[in-house]
């Protein structure tokens, strides 16, 4: 039995130029793969038991093996790589697809039967929160039937299972947006945004989900908590407060109320080239205000963007122009701004028009398609992100890059790493690292673990966050200090069945 575990299969863009450039920089691939988890006859799945038949009959739980496997993993690289190697840990015993009328009674029956639950949104999690723990039977609660969208005056109430693209489609018809556009926009859900503390690409204007979400409805083992829908309050801790970034550990989010904003009448596109990534960093740090989108790529990511998005003749002409202006090997800053052109001074930069920014916007949700191709060709793509204050960002950036290439020598893998700055704040910014590696098949899992560990430890020693917007699941929790781990345990609901 084979189960496809990659996503991005629905993306039709031709990634030939991007793929050729990336693989040319990385070198020899590892073992090719079809993207499927192949289940051998002597199953390697760890199944902790059986859900009682009366519970299955009463709740309509699906026990189909393919659905159980898919609901027991997210889309993090460690989880996908384990599937490539035919290794799978505990899987959920079944999948529940409740609606608003059946959720509470079904969950009550599960808990009374000694079962635990894991909420499931779009399955795009990269923090390890969908992996069930050992020693108990767990049911995945798929929220796809919580799909209602009710638009109010400058707010919207959305079911936790509504995807970003479906939410925005409904809002745009009414002339609104909620302003949250993560890269996983086509797959991630409103409930998942809260659970991960998501931050979309236009957060400079709208804020992240912490600023956009107003209230939630949360089902816990002791009952339902309904936050009131008011602009602001000072009445103690809310369900929203404890659920942001919790990776589903506080209960089942069923509905979310979000702020809405009038859709922009116009968008303006700009791009600037700096001699170096750190020159661009200094300019952003000194800015008094920020555009809707500002994305500063380092030299490697800039090279990738130019090579991947330009035909040879156009690329040569553009490169010649940049060389003449002294920024041919520099860093690009993409700017998109709503309502008015961006007029802030970009000292030391060369203006390069709006086309690069428009091309970025055109392709901004398509990266999973390229990752899909890389996985199948034998490469391992991954991303890790953090946030730090401005004074620490240059050192953090250098430390991560140096650590990566030191690990490359030590472990003998092929690979490349690149970075960009996004999500700007008065005190600092998010920096997002993308790396692709390849090595011998038998070394792949050990190598990926070592690289991820080295990068996250570089974040921590340079005063960075463990993660800026991916949520505190099992893959990141080992890096928490004991005090914050104790704090997480205080709000974790006993019905949560994740690792």
Same domain, 372 and 357: no
pLDDT at 108 > cutoff 80: yes
Helix (H, G, I), strand (E, B) or coil at 311: coil
More confident residue, 234 or 9: 234
- Quick check: is 498 in a domain? no
Which of 232, 262, 292 is where one domain is finished? 262
Question: Across the strands, what pairs with 429?
Answer: 388, 424
CATH assignment of the domain containing 91:
3.30.43.10
Same domain, 181 and 58: no
Spell out the alpha helix ranges (H) of 260-381: 277-286, 299-308, 312-324, 355-363, 367-377
Integer CA distances (angstroms), 461 to 28, 124, 399, 429, in order: 32, 28, 9, 17
pLDDT at 238 > cutoff 60: yes
194-221 average pLDDT score = 97
pLDDT in tens, 330-362: 999 999 999 999 887 788 889 889 999 999 999
Percent of the chain with pLDDT over 70: 95
Tell me how far apart the alpha carbons of residues 256 and 121 are, in angstroms, rounded to a whole number. 13
What's residue 39's pLDDT? 73
- Quick check: is 48 in a domain? yes
Helix, strand, coil % over all residues of the chain, rounded to 5: 35, 25, 40
Q: Is the distance from CB of 114 to CB of 137 less than 8 angstroms?
A: yes
More confident residue, 307 or 131: 131
What's residue 151's pLDDT? 98
- Quick check: is 485 in a domain? yes
Which of 240, 262, 284 is where one domain is finished? 262
pLDDT at 7 > cutoff 90: no
Integer CA distances (angstroms), 284 to 104, 292, 301, 460, in order: 49, 13, 18, 23
Same domain, 274 and 258: no
186-201 average pLDDT score = 96
Q: Which range is least confidently modeled, 133-147, 302-316, 394-408, 455-469?
A: 302-316
pLDDT at 42 > cutoff 60: no
- Quick check: is 499 in a domain? no
Same domain, 113 and 211: no
Same domain, 320 and 237: no
274-279 average pLDDT score = 94
- Quick check: is 26 in a domain? yes
**Paired tokens of 91:** 């899987």
Percent of the chain with pLDDT over 90: 80
For 75, the domain range is 2-142
Integer CA distances (angstroms), 300 to 24, 236, 340, in order: 13, 47, 30
The structure's pTM equals: 0.94
Which of 142, 175, 205 is where one domain is finished? 142
What's residue 221's pLDDT? 96
176-184 average pLDDT score = 96
CATH assignment of the domain containing 452:
3.30.300.330
CATH assignment of the domain containing 169:
3.30.465.10
Tell me how far apart the alpha carbons of residues 120 and 105 are, in angstroms, rounded to a whole number. 18
Same domain, 342 and 434: no
E strand or H helix that includes residue 295: strand 293-297
Under the banding of pLDDT at 50, 70 and 90, the label for residue 295 is: very high
Q: Is the distance from CB of 449 to CB of 442 less than 8 angstroms?
A: no
Same domain, 99 and 231: no
Spell out the alpha helix ranges (H) of 177-295: 190-196, 203-206, 209-212, 239-243, 277-286
Same domain, 7 and 22: yes
CATH assignment of the domain containing 282:
3.30.70.3450
More confident residue, 317 or 73: 73
What's residue 49's pLDDT? 58
- Quick check: is 497 in a domain? no
What's residue 45's pLDDT? 64
- Quick check: is 295 in a domain? yes
458-481 average pLDDT score = 97
Please give the tally of structural domains in the chain: 4
Same domain, 204 and 116: no
Same domain, 52 and 167: no
Same domain, 154 and 56: no
pLDDT at 416 > cutoff 80: yes
What's residue 293's pLDDT? 97
Q: Is the distance from CB of 36 to CB of 85 less than 8 angstroms?
A: no
Same domain, 334 and 383: no
Sequence length of the chain is 499
């Amino acid at each position: 039995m084979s189960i496809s575990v990659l996503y991005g299969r629905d993306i039709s863009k031709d990634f030939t130029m991007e793929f050729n450039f990336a693989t040319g920089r990385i070198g020899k691939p590892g073992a090719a793969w079809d993207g499927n988890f192949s289940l051998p006859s002597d199953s390697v799945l760890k199944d902790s038991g059986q859900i009682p038949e009366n519970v299955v009959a009463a709740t309509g739980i699906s026990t189909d093996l393919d659905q159980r496997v898919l609901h027991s993993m997210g889309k993090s690289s460690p989880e996908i790589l384990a599937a490539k190697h035919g290794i799978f840990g505990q899987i959920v015993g079944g999948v529940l697809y409740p609606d608003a009328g059946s959720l509470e009674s079904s969950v009550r029956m599960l808990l009374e039967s000694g079962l635990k639950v894991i909420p499931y949104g779009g399955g795009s999690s990269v923090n390890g929160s969908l992996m069930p723990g050992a020693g108990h039977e767990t049911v995945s609660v798929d929220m796809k039937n919580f799909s209602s969208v009710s638009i109010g005056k400058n707010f919207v109430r959305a079911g936790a299972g509504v995807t970003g693209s479906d939410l925005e489609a409904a809002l745009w018809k009414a002339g609104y947006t909620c302003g949250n556009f993560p890269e996983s926009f086509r797959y991630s859900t409103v409930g998942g945004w809260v659970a991960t503390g998501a931050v979309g690409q236009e957060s400079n204007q709208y804020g992240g989900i912490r600023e956009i979400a107003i209230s939630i409805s949360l089902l816990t083992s002791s009952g339902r908590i309904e936050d009131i829908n008011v602009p602001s309050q000072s009445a103690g801790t809310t369900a929203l407060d404890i659920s942001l970034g919790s990776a589903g550990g506080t209960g089942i989010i069923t509905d979310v109320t979000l702020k809405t904003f009038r859709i922009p009448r116009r968008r303006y596109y700009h791009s600037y080239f700096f001699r170096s990534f750190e020159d661009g960093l200094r300019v952003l740090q000194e800015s008094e205000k920020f555009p809707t989108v500002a994305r500063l790529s380092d030299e490697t990511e800039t090279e990738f963007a130019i090579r991947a998005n330009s035909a040879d003749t156009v690329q040569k002409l553009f490169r010649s122009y940049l060389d003449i202006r002294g920024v041919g090997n520099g860093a690009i800053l993409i700017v998109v701004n709503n309502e008015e052109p961006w007029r802030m001074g970009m000292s030391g930069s060369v203006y390069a028009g709006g086309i690069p920014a428009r091309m970025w916007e055109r392709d901004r949700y398509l990266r999973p398609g390229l990752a899909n191709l890389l996985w199948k060709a034998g490469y391992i793509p991954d991303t890790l992100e953090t946030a730090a204050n401005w004074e620490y960002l240059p050192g953090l950036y250098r430390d991560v890059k140096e650590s990566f290439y030191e690990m490359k020598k030590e472990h003998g893998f092929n690979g490349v790493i690149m970075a960009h700055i996004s999500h700007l704040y008065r005190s600092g910014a998010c920096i997002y690292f993308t790396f692709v590696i390849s090595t011998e098949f038998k070394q792949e899992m050990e190598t990926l673990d070592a690289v991820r560990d080295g990068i996250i430890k570089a974040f921590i020693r340079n005063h960075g966050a463990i993660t800026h917007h991916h949520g505190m699941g099992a893959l990141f929790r080992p890096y928490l200090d004991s005090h914050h781990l104790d704090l997480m345990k205080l709000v974790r609901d006993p019905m949560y069945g994740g690792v």
